[in-house]
Chain A
Amino acid sequence: MCGIAALQLRNPSLHPRMGSLLSSMLCQIVDRGPDSAGLAVYNTPGLVKEGTSTLSLLGRDQGITTTAITAGVSAMLPADSAATVQVVGDTTLVGAAVGTDLLVKAVTETLPAATIIGRGEHVAVMKSVGHPMEIAADHGLEAMAGSQGLSHTRMATESAVTAGGSHPFSVADDLCLVHNGSFSNHATVRRGLLREGVMFDSENDTEVGARYVASRLKQGDTLEEALVNLGKVLDGFYTLVVTTADSMAVVRDPIACKPAIIAETDDYVAMASEYRALAGLPGINNARIFEPEPGKVYTWSL
């Protein structure tokens, strides 16, 4: 059992409330996964910036000071790339006005042991071990603005309770994936991806799903096609939420043991494992509320 809460805000006037709304949703899914948690927020001022790539690194302590990280990264980038480093909760964010691939190289050179848990122009990813609400508070979720937010509370089954095993898995620019369930053939799919040259950060089954989706997107699939293909290749139980810079997708496996409920209004699309996480959203009494059908991919774009 894991908990998912995701929110896509269609009405920009709600953007300042993204963090507080997501936090209130997260609060209701803590019971489903109290051991660790993760967050992804999109277009949050202060964390990401238009025209700048941002990498989210696991942990607040990277072994050297933020000044040293800034110096190390800057030394490998063009002079005008304006590299910045900041610590938010248990996450280190490194930003620079260069492409993500170049920034990844610079960060990997500077911090060979760092685990990159998020990348892109629009997303910041934060995850840790412990009580989900403490993790959210530690990162200051409540005060964050943004266009989309994704949260996950984990009850680990397929791999250890570690920050690296927490969701979301963000393995391509602005792409995040969270999972309630377990993939049974992840080792087989992992071997196939390894042969394609895909690198993994963890032993986690969900990372295989995220890497698979990223691989399909790279080959030209739309998000919807990638998730249909995932259903053909990965076996197991899943409710997945996938977010990109401007879209959100939900899919459940055809057996549909894992719950999901969606509320849609003119102002937002919200998805959660249980209705109680949606109960506090504005205008929920007039929302269209439904459970996603088994095996069907739902997508919404901003």
Chain B
Amino acid sequence: MVTLTAPETFSPTIGTAAAAADPTVLDLAASPVRELNQAVHNAVDGESWAVINPGGKHSLAVGINADIQVTIEGHAGYYAAGMHQKGDVTINGNAGVGLAENIMSGRVHVTGDASQSAAATGHGGLVVIDGNAGARCGISMKGVDIVVGGNIGHMSAFMAQAGRLVVCGDAGDALGDSIYEARIYVKGTVASLGADCIEKPLKEEHLAELAELLAAAGRTDNPADFKRYGSARNLYHFHVDNSTSY
């Protein structure tokens, strides 16, 4: 049974006006994760959900395909908000491995830290991590935008194909290894760049898109303080001279 507690005046309505309504509260101390996920799959545009007592459980609020708002009050386990298609998920806490994995669009926001492989293979949408992200942040990203308030771990943006990764802290080793076309912005230090990833000039258009991304993430960092990194495009096609670089 889903334990639902809602104000008596609450009734589901279609449209964005309902976003302002009080959220439906779902208590994971009393209900299994599967019922949360079924409930958010059944939800219609404009609904709002608050999840309490998440207890680090895995696969919370995955596969959302409606324009709804979900707030998780506490720490989430693995694959939170995975396969996110639409809507807005906020985790007021930390997230485990594989946050917003394969996100297609919409927005996922973590107020604490995220473990490794955050936004892995993401095709679109925005993932905001206020704290630090672990290793392999944005691995194989294919169009997602990621804004990290703190540091990111090693092998981040590995084989990144498209999208933007903004890091307001420092980046770990082998940043952007074997990168294709994503753009990476780092404010702090980079421990080392991966194969075929180089620093690139920060032009007007980059300052503009960086300002937009920072604003979208609710940040006030100065775009001019960042450096840009991207692909040297030397490893796109196999060439025997590069055989040791792959």
Binding site for B on A (CB under 8 A): 256, 259, 261, 274-280, 289-291, 294
Taking the nearest CB of chain A, how far is it from the CB of B133, in angstroms?
10
Taking the nearest CB of chain A, how far is it from the CB of B172, in angstroms?
8
* B78 interfacial contact with A, CB 8 Å: yes
Contact of B97 among A259, A278, A294 (CB under 8 A): A259
| Cross-chain contact B55 with A279 (CB below 8 angstroms) | yes
| Cross-chain contact A290 with B75 (CB below 8 angstroms) | no
| Cross-chain contact A279 with B96 (CB below 8 angstroms) | no
Taking the nearest CB of chain B, how far is it from the CB of A28, in angstroms?
8
Given the complex, which residues of A lie within 8 Å of B153, measured CB to CB?
A: 256, 294
| Cross-chain contact A274 with B56 (CB below 8 angstroms) | yes
Given the complex, which residues of A lie within 8 Å of B55, measured CB to CB?
A: 276, 279-280
| Cross-chain contact A294 with B94 (CB below 8 angstroms) | no
| Cross-chain contact B75 with A291 (CB below 8 angstroms) | no
Given the complex, which residues of B lie within 8 Å of A278, measured CB to CB?
A: 56
Taking the nearest CB of chain A, how far is it from the CB of B73, in angstroms?
11
* B161 interfacial contact with A, CB 8 Å: no
A277 to B135: give the CA distance in the assembly, Å: 21
Taking the nearest CB of chain A, how far is it from the CB of B139, in angstroms?
12
Given the complex, which residues of B lie within 8 Å of A275, measured CB to CB?
A: 56, 75, 77, 94, 96
| Cross-chain contact B154 with A294 (CB below 8 angstroms) | yes
Closest to B75 in A: A275
Closest to B53 in A: A279
Closest to B54 in A: A279
Tally of A-B Cβ pairs under 8 angstroms: 40
* B115 interfacial contact with A, CB 8 Å: yes
- If A294-B135, A294-B153 touch, whether A289 touches B57 (CB-CB below 8 Å) is no
Interface residues of B in 104-141 (CB under 8 A from A): 113, 115-116, 134-135
Given the complex, which residues of A lie within 8 Å of B75, measured CB to CB?
A: 275, 279, 289
Given the complex, which residues of A lie within 8 Å of B97, measured CB to CB?
A: 259
- If A289-B94, A294-B153, A294-B154 touch, whether A276 touches B135 (CB-CB below 8 Å) is no
| Cross-chain contact A259 with B135 (CB below 8 angstroms) | no
Given the complex, which residues of A lie within 8 Å of B96, measured CB to CB?
A: 259, 274-275
Taking the nearest CB of chain A, how far is it from the CB of B95, in angstroms?
9
A183 to B58: give the CA distance in the assembly, Å: 28
A22 to B134: give the CA distance in the assembly, Å: 27
A274 to B56: give the CA distance in the assembly, Å: 8
| Cross-chain contact B134 with A291 (CB below 8 angstroms) | yes
Taking the nearest CB of chain A, how far is it from the CB of B77, in angstroms?
5
A259 to B135: give the CA distance in the assembly, Å: 11
**A-contact bits for B76-113, CB 8 A (1 contact / 0 none):** 01100000000000000010110000000000000001
A280 to B115: give the CA distance in the assembly, Å: 20
A274 to B94: give the CA distance in the assembly, Å: 12
Closest to A277 in B: B56
Given the complex, which residues of A lie within 8 Å of B77, measured CB to CB?
A: 274-276
Q: Which A-B residue pairs are the 10 nearest by beta carbons?
A: A276-B56, A275-B56, A279-B55, A279-B56, A275-B75, A276-B77, A256-B135, A291-B134, A276-B55, A276-B57
A289 to B115: give the CA distance in the assembly, Å: 12
Taking the nearest CB of chain B, how far is it from the CB of A45, in angstroms?
31
Given the complex, which residues of B lie within 8 Å of A276, measured CB to CB?
A: 55-58, 77
A183 to B97: give the CA distance in the assembly, Å: 23
Sampled A-B contacts (6; CB under 8 Å)? A274-B96, A276-B56, A279-B55, A279-B75, A289-B94, A294-B135
